[in-house]
Amino acid sequence: MLNVGIIGFGTAGRDVVKRLVCNEIEGCRLSGVLVRSVSNHSTGASLTGLLTDDPEHFFSQRPDVIVETAGHGAVAQYGEMALEAGCHFVVISVGALGDAELYNRLVAAARTSGKQILLPSAAVAGLDRIAAAAEDGLDSVRLTTRKPVKAWRGTHAETVVNLDEITEPTVIYTGNARDSARLFPESVNVSAALSLAGLGFEETEVQVVVDPTIERNVHEVTALGKFGELKVEVQNTPSPDNPKTGHIVAMSVCKVLRNLASPVVVGL
């Protein structure tokens, strides 16, 4: 049985915890949930004794794998600690890895511990194909992310345009993945994942669009290389609790956990 610790109890964290508590991920059990303050959360009896704001207690439950669902700061704060404790570390805030110094520290900790940093596909499709294509050379990887206006509230987008006045699709960023991950940490983790799978942060092209004509979060990926050409578009239904993310993110984490506990793994 795989013991799973969750860092964060927001939209994605709650969805993953619910499935673990209901025994919907075969071979996995919830060892604990680490939050900033227990008093900020109301939970049912099923989480009694599992929710904690004490990192020492959280790690004392000896998780085999720790899942970060709490944002970039949590990756920096707990990533090395998780790996050094002998845990696999699942990261959904992949944009944090755009910090080269942090990334190198985590990789070093993973090598020393013999554990892995695991990056779910989350909101995008095609990471497996791009990672495979990179083995024999990629020429280009480009991501266009389009989201409705509500998904950009409370983000860097508000410093670029007046969201209340946008009436047509508006490009608010064109550049590389490193800067996009830094400027839009809650909304463009996809660009960081694509970078790590393929050409790296500097060479992965990103365009970010505020689009008042759509209701879903849309990611369009194109890649060229010796393998041929990849074109994929994903339209994710935004979470009702947090329109910056989609329900598929939590399901992607569940698939990673199922892979770790399963004798058969599909889609690598």
CB 233: neighbour CB atoms within 10 A?
Answer: 13
The Cα 143–Cα 194 span in angstroms is 8
Task: Report, in angstroms and rounded to the nearest whole number, the Rg of the chain calculated over CA atoms.
Answer: 18
User: Is there a contact between 96 and 191 (Cβ–Cβ < 8 Å)?
Assistant: no
**Residue 219 bears catalytic tag:** yes
Q: Is 217 annotated as a binding residue?
A: no
3-state secondary structure of 82: helix
Q: In the 3-class helix/strand/coil scheme, how is 175-222 assigned residue by residue?
A: EEHHHHHHHCCCCCHHHHHHHHHCCCCCCCEEEEEECCCCCCEEEEEE
Pick from 199, 35, 46, 33: which is nearest to 127 by CA?
199
Q: Is 189 annotated as a binding residue?
A: yes
H helical segments located in the chain? 11-21, 55-60, 72-84, 100-113, 127-134, 157-160, 177-183, 189-197, 247-261
Strands 228-236 and 217-225, by their bridges, are: antiparallel
Strands 2-7 and 65-68, by their bridges, are: parallel
Among 57, 156, 219, 247, the one annotated catalytic: 219
Quote helix, strand, coil % in the chain, to nearest 5.
40, 25, 35
3-state secondary structure of 5: strand
Q: Which residues have a catalytic role annotated? A: 219
Q: Annotated binding site for NAD(+), which residues?
A: 123, 189
Residues of the binding site: 123, 189
